[in-house]
């Protein structure tokens, strides 16, 4: 791995319009990813994972909201300082994304070759036979069988796993230094999911790709990630190496998420679940956002936001319990 991060996010803030005001969907988010490393981003639905990804890529529609603070430094360039034409030069070419559902991210009326070719032509300037060869090579690199025939197929003629590989081929057309994978395995069965994860690791070993992998599945985190960031109510509440997080979760929310993962070796009458619901962004509680659902919460948790505590090498969590409740 490179000692200098290929992507560094510092204090990222994204505000969305809500009624007559605004809410913070991404609130002071910071992390970095090195070349050849995979950082997992986990949390319940609505925690801000996808909004963080769209904010990094500056894909928040202006009618919906905007990034209001922070820096996103890609290979030494702060993406937040670029105009839209400059941003388009980096988006797709040096940082790209695989979206959740390939049936909505792929155009159903265009052939696979046209969709992959559009990206290759834009980012690499190829045309004619060279372009067609690059399209076939891109599909082959994603382990798509008979790529020469697949270029003429439409998305509905491919399986879900194949469609997602086409999405990966488009995302890798640049080729990028950073790949954001926003829950790319959600619509796939277990076998196809495993194949896609293995493919991403193979590509990473061959290219040194840095991956931000968004998921709610800790099994995937254990399989593919080096470090993991846990999000709740728009904030990262814990970040640690994967093995360290699994062995020694320090934030009560992380602990509760891990307890929610069924243990196939243990018979239980009822699976564990976290009581309550994540808070609405326009009605966040005072203090720690997780306090209303936390078994360890005390008065200070409901009054003031928790400090960030260093819990070990490359491991930090934001929790009053770790700080001794302010004593």
CATH of the domain at 202: 3.40.50.300
What is the per-residue pLDDT for 169? 94
Separation CA 187–CA 261 (nearest Å): 19
Whose structure tokens read 């590989």?
165
Q: Looking at residues 18-38, what average pLDDT do you find?
A: 93
- Residues 193 and 90 occupy one common structural domain: yes
What is the per-residue pLDDT for 245? 96
pLDDT in tens, 237-289: 999 999 999 999 999 999 999 998 887 777 777 888 898 899 999 899 999 99
Separation CA 296–CA 290 (nearest Å): 10
Q: Which domain holds residue 246?
A: 7-94+176-274
What is the per-residue pLDDT for 108? 92
Number of compact structural domains in the chain: 2
**Is residue 326 over pLDDT 70?**
no
- Residues 257 and 120 occupy one common structural domain: no
Torsion, CA 138, CA 142, CA 146, CA 152, rounded to 10: -50
Contact 225, 41 (CB under 8 A): no
285 φ, ψ (degrees, to nearest 5): -70, 155
Decide if 82 is inside a domain: yes
Confidence of residue 2 (pLDDT cuts 50, 70, 90): very low
pLDDT in tens, 159-176: 988 999 999 999 999 999
What is the per-residue pLDDT for 111? 96
Separation CA 183–CA 99 (nearest Å): 7
pLDDT in tens, 174-228: 999 999 999 988 777 888 889 889 999 999 999 999 999 999 889 899 999 999 9
Decide if 294 is inside a domain: no
Q: Looking at residues 305-319, what average pLDDT do you find?
A: 93
**CA atoms lying within 13 Å on the CB side of residue 107:** 10
Decide if 290 is inside a domain: no
What is the per-residue pLDDT for 1? 44
- Residues 161 and 180 occupy one common structural domain: no
- Residues 79 and 121 occupy one common structural domain: no
Decide if 247 is inside a domain: yes
3-state secondary structure of 131: helix
Separation CA 282–CA 113 (nearest Å): 44
Decide if 281 is inside a domain: no
- Residues 215 and 268 occupy one common structural domain: yes
Decide if 297 is inside a domain: no
What is the per-residue pLDDT for 157? 94
- Residues 87 and 228 occupy one common structural domain: yes
Q: Looking at residues 305-316, what average pLDDT do you find?
A: 92
Domain end point (choices 274, 289, 305): 274
Could you tell me how many residues make up the chain? 327
DSSP secondary structure string, 239-307? Answer: EEEHHHHHH---SHHHHHHHHTS--TTS--SS-----S-PPPGGGPPSS-TTGGG-TT--HHHHHSPPP
- Residues 79 and 190 occupy one common structural domain: yes
Separation CA 245–CA 228 (nearest Å): 8
- Residues 265 and 201 occupy one common structural domain: yes
Separation CA 167–CA 104 (nearest Å): 11
**Is residue 18 over pLDDT 90?**
no
Separation CA 307–CA 292 (nearest Å): 18
pLDDT in tens, 90-147: 999 999 999 887 778 899 999 999 999 999 999 999 999 999 999 999 999 999 999 9
- Residues 140 and 41 occupy one common structural domain: no
């Amino acid at each position: 791995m490179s000692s200098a991060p290929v992507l560094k996010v510092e204090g990222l803030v994204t505000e969305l319009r809500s009624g007559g005001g605004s809410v913070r969907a991404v609130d002071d988010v910071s992390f970095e990813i090195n070349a050849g490393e995979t950082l997992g981003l986990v949390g319940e639905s609505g925690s801000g994972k996808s909004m963080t990804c769209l904010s990094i890529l500056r894909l928040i529609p202006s009618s919906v909201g905007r990034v209001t603070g922070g820096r996103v430094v890609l290979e030494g360039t702060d993406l937040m300082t670029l105009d839209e034409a400059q941003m388009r030069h980096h988006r797709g070419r040096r940082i790209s994304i695989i979206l959740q559902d390939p049936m909505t991210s792929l155009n159903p009326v265009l052939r696979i070759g046209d969709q992959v070719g559009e990206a290759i032509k834009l980012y690499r300037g190829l045309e004619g036979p060279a372009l067609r060869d690059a399209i076939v090579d891109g599909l082959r690199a994603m382990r798509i069988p008979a790529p020469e025939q697949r270029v003429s197929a439409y998305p509905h003629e491919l399986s879900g796993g194949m469609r997602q590989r086409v999405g990966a081929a488009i995302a890798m057309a640049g080729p990028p230094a950073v790949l954001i994978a926003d829950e790319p395995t959600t619509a796939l069965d277990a076998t196809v999911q495993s194949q896609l994860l293995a493919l991403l690791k193979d590509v990473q070993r061959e290219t040194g790709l840095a991956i931000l992998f968004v998921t709610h599945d800790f099994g995937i985190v254990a399989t593919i990630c080096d470090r993991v960031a846990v999000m709740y109510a728009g904030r990262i509440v814990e970040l640690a190496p994967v093995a360290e997080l699994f062995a020694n979760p320090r934030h009560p929310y992380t602990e509760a998420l891990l307890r929610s993962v069924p243990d196939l070796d243990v018979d239980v009458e009822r699976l564990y679940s976290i009581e309550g619901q994540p808070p609405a962004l326009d009605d966040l509680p005072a203090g720690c956002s997780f306090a209303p659902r936390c078994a360890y919460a005390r008065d200070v948790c409901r009054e003031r936001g928790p400090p960030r505590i260093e819990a070990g090498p490359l491991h930090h969590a934001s929790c009053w319990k770790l700080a001794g409740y302010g004593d």
